[in-house]
Amino acid sequence: MTMNPKMCVPEDNVTVAVGLMWDFDCGVVPVVKDLESKELVGIVTDRDIAMHVVKHAYTHPGEVKVNDCMSFNVISCQSEDPIESALSAMGAYHFRRIPIIDEKGSCVGIISITDLLSHAENMEQDVISMMKQVCSRCPETPTKASEEATAEDVKVEKETTGD
């Protein structure tokens, strides 16, 4: 895992989070109650920020607080959990990164697919299969394009069969 990730607080402006992402080449920043306790309260991704700013048509991202676009229900793992726990959570939720917390709930790291791949040669085949599941699109979650294609297919079938 990446130890001691850069963090922000909910009251920070998103430009703080974006600056951390840019400076430290990462796409996620843990959000903590305060920088002293590092108690994990959320997580914000580059996508969260971009989508929120565009959706609400802010004239300047400086008008947005981290609290406005962060995820509050964070899936995390404990630092002493086996690697399979992180992989299982990543696979179940199709997350590429999971924050790691200690027994007090303080964020102590982040584990990512990149971290796991750097050690793939030491892993069992079933662990590698779990990593592939994390990276694949969830089949029961159709995209907007596939929903539209399916609706169009049904319409065409009804027109040709008369049903």
What pLDDT does 114 receive?
Answer: 81
What pLDDT does 159 receive?
Answer: 44
Instruction: Confirm if 1 and 82 have CB atoms less than 8 A apart.
Output: no
Judge whether residue 161 has pLDDT over 60. no
- Reference 13, options 67, 89, 58, 92; nearest CA is 67
Q: Report the SS3 class of residue 32.
A: strand
Instruction: Confirm if 46 and 66 have CB atoms less than 8 A apart.
Output: no
Instruction: Check residue 142 and report its DSSP letter.
Output: -
Report the number of distinct structural domains present in the chain.
Answer: 1
First to last CA, the chain: 56
Band (91; pLDDT cuts 50, 70, 90): confident
Residue type, 1: M
Q: What percent of the chain has pLDDT over 90?
A: 52
Tell me which residue range forms the domain holding 33: 2-161
Read off the pLDDT of residues 64-85 as tens digits, 9 standing for 90 and up: 999 999 999 999 999 999 888 8
Read off the pLDDT of residues 92-143 as tens digits, 9 standing for 90 and up: 888 889 999 999 999 999 999 888 777 666 666 666 666 666 666 554 444 4
Structure tokens that stand for 21 in this block: 């992402």
Give strand pairing partners of 98. 111
CATH number at residue 26: 3.10.580.10
